[in-house]
Structures are given as structure tokens and as C-alpha cells.
Structure 1
Amino acid sequence: MLNEQDTGLIVTDIQGRLAKTVYQSEAFLLKCEQLIRAAEVLALPIIWLEQVPDKLGATTPVLQPFINRNSLITKCTFDACQNAQFVDTIQRNGKNQWLICGIEAHICVYQTALSLLERGYTVFPVSDAVSSRDPDNKQLALANLRDAGAAISSVEMCLYQLLGSSQHPAFADILAMIKE
């Protein structure tokens, strides 16, 4: 079960034209925004990844306002764990549970999540906040990650786990975000 004290969020490569061409991009981007905003309210560490932004473009404009430039890591490998800065950032945060959202589910999200699992982290791919151009690739990635030991979640599912109770101080704010 997720807990607020031991959880962080990894935002993977939601960039350029690709962010607009993934399956159900509008719904996907809305769920990513909800997840990111809720993570900010809960003061979870957020690590932002961009895959070769000089070629693929920067993070999509709808998410730009939420980026903390100090936590933005540029990478060229599909598996972010092949990037020393990413591994160092994960270790420095001291969290054992990582939510992961982004694109593409079957490439960068999949490879990064698998490597995190192999390193002993608990990984929660957020099903409605990951996407691919082809929905079959997304489903295949989530199925393989589940088989590898990941705990597949959704935005609402993970947020309610993190809150734990309607008495949580952030409950009203997060409920309002979910209802948007």
C-alpha cells in the first residue's frame, strides 16, 4: 500500500508532438496534471524526465507550469536508470515507492519501471496517466510490469491510498482536483 512518507512521483517524457499523438491524449494529459498537482499538494518529490528535448521538444505546455527546473533531468537512454543523475536523485530522495506516469508506456516508462523494480523499489505505474501511440503497446507494458512485480494503480486509486482518510488535511483539495 502506498504511503505519503515513502512515495515520490516520476514524470516521464511528456514532450512535444508525441504528447498530442498518444492514444486519448487529452484524457491522458488531464490525468497527468491531476496526479502532478496532487503530488505537489502532498509535498511528494517529483522527478521530471525529458528524452532528448532538442529533438523531441520540451515538456508539453500544459504541464510546463508545474516543472521544478531543479528536478528536471535530460536523458538519452530509454531506461532512466542508465542515467547517473537520475539514479543519484532517486537515492537522495530516500523514497522506496515510486509512482510513474508518462510516455511511452512500452518504452521509457516500461524500461525505467523495470529497472527500478530490479533495484528493489516498489513501482506503481499509474494506468490512466501512462500512454502510448498504440493502446495495445500500453496494455502490453502494464501487463508485463504487473508480471514483473509492479503494482498497477490509477490516479484516484493512488491518491486515496496516499490520503488514507477523509480527515487528511489535503483531502478537500485533492477531491476537488479529482472531480474536475
Structure 2
Amino acid sequence: MSNLLDHPTPDNALLLLVDVQGKLARIMHESDAMIHQQGVLIEACRLLEVPVVWAEQLPEKLGPTVPELVEKLDGHTPCAKDSFGCWGDETLRQAIRDSGRDRIVLAGIETHVCVWQTAAALRAEGYEVHLVCDAVSSRSVFNRDIAFQRMAAAGVHLSNVEMVLFELMGDAGHPRFRDVTRLLK
């Protein structure tokens, strides 16, 4: 049963961005809205000092992360992978472990493949996973929605950008409250 102790905070959360690359990112259902929400999430996590781990699936074949997000990830380096799930890659596994964080805020594509396999493996390892549903997508709504159902059944917390950002801040007294809420307008 979920409780308030499951909430992500700036001290326990990590943002994991999965494979928002090239032409594939552009053919996702509601691609522009998804990329916009991912951008808000990245900017807010940086303001809140939440670490970011950034994955790219076979970048030599699928291309780099979309430029709108790369500019917001300045100072970070993507981790190239060939496993579908991030946990299947040693570099990504180590980056997640090294963060010392146990709440994973998860965004990216495709919801039913790389994002699902990442979430399932993280749950199996005991991490609390917060799927940011408006910052993930698949080529079809059906595939995305099936993934939402599988993840919920696996104990993943379904969330959205605004929900997770307000959870991270905790209250209106947070020193970055105005900066973060400005991103949501």
C-alpha cells in the first residue's frame, strides 16, 4: 500500500530520462507535448538539485537525444546502452546506485519497451518508481496504456509532471517554489 513515505523528495529522488532520441521521438503519440513536459521536468529537477541520469539507446543508430532536451541537460553526459531496460546496462546501473537515491522519477520512450523494462527491473531491485505519465509515450496509445497497466500492477506509482514537482517541493515555502511553478505556466 502506497503512503506519503513513498513520495519523491530532493534528498531521495533521481530523474531517469530514457531514450528520447532522433526520429523515433518525433513519431511518438503526442510527441511535442511529451517533449515539452520532459523539458519542464528536467529544468525543475535541476532547480531542485535532483540528480539526472540520461540514457540513449544505440545512439549511433537511433541518433542523439532531441535538441530541445539536450540544451536543458547541459553539463550531463548521456549513457549509451544496447539493453532495452536501463538496469541491463552496467554504466547506468552504477550511476543509479552511486546516486544513493531510492525514488526513481522515470520519463522517456517507448513506454511499453525500454521504460517498462527499466521500471520492472528497478521495482525488482527495491526502488520506488514514479512514472511521469505525461513525460512518456509510445507510437500507439494502446501500447502506452497497456504499459501503464503493467507498471501499476508491478507497484509503479503513476504520476505526472505537476504532481511529482509539487511532491518534490513539499510545500509553498520551498525556496524554489516560484521558479518551479513558473515552469508550469
Q: Shorter-normalised TM-score: what interval? A: over 0.9
Residue 68 of structure 2 aligns to a residue whose secondary structure is coil
1:62 matched residue in structure 2? 68
Deviation at 1:66, TM superposition (A): 2.1
Q: Does 1:50 align with 2:56?
A: yes
Residues 112-123 of structure 1 mapped to structure 2, 5 A cutoff: 112-123=118-129
Residue 17 of structure 1 aligns to a residue whose secondary structure is helix
Q: Does 1:24 align with 2:27?
A: no
Q: Distance in 2 between matches of 1:106 and 1:63?
A: 21
Q: Distance in 1 between matches of 2:100 and 2:131?
A: 19
Give the gaps of 5 or more residues in structure 1: none
Q: Distance in 1 between matches of 2:75 and 2:92?
A: 14
Q: Distance in 2 between matches of 1:112 and 1:68?
A: 24
Q: Distance in 2 between matches of 1:80 and 1:96?
A: 15
- The 3 A distance-change label for structure 1 pair 68 and 74 is farther
Residue 158 of structure 2 aligns to a residue whose secondary structure is coil
2:182 matched residue in structure 1? 176
Q: Paired residue for 1:145, among 151, 154, 178?
A: 151
Q: Does 1:157 align with 2:167?
A: no
Q: Distance in 1 between matches of 2:153 and 2:30?
A: 25
Q: Distance in 1 between matches of 2:151 and 2:106?
A: 12
1:99 matched residue in structure 2? 105
Q: AA paired with 1:9?
A: L
Q: TM-score, normalised by structure 1?
A: 0.97
1:133 matched residue in structure 2? 139
Give the gaps of 5 or more residues in structure 2: 1-6
Q: Distance in 2 between matches of 1:29 and 1:68?
A: 16
Q: Paired residue for 1:38, among 25, 39, 44?
A: 44
Deviation per CA, 1:44-97: give whole Å up to 9, x if none.
Answer: 110000000110000001111122565420001101111111111111000000
Q: Distance in 2 between matches of 1:170 and 1:70?
A: 21
Q: Does 1:15 align with 2:21?
A: yes
Deviation per CA, 1:109-147: give whole Å up to 9, x if none.
Answer: 000011000000000010000000001111111111010
Q: Paired residue for 1:108, among 104, 114, 121?
A: 114
Q: Is the 8 A contact 1:46 1:71 kept in 2?
A: no
Q: TM-score, normalised by structure 2?
A: 0.94
How many residues end up aligned between the 2 structures?
A: 179
1:74 matched residue in structure 2? 80
Residue 36 of structure 2 aligns to a residue whose secondary structure is helix
Residue 152 of structure 1 aligns to a residue whose secondary structure is strand
Q: Is the 8 A contact 1:12 1:49 kept in 2?
A: yes
Q: AA paired with 1:87?
A: R
Q: Is the 8 A contact 2:42 2:73 kept in 1?
A: no
Identity %: 35
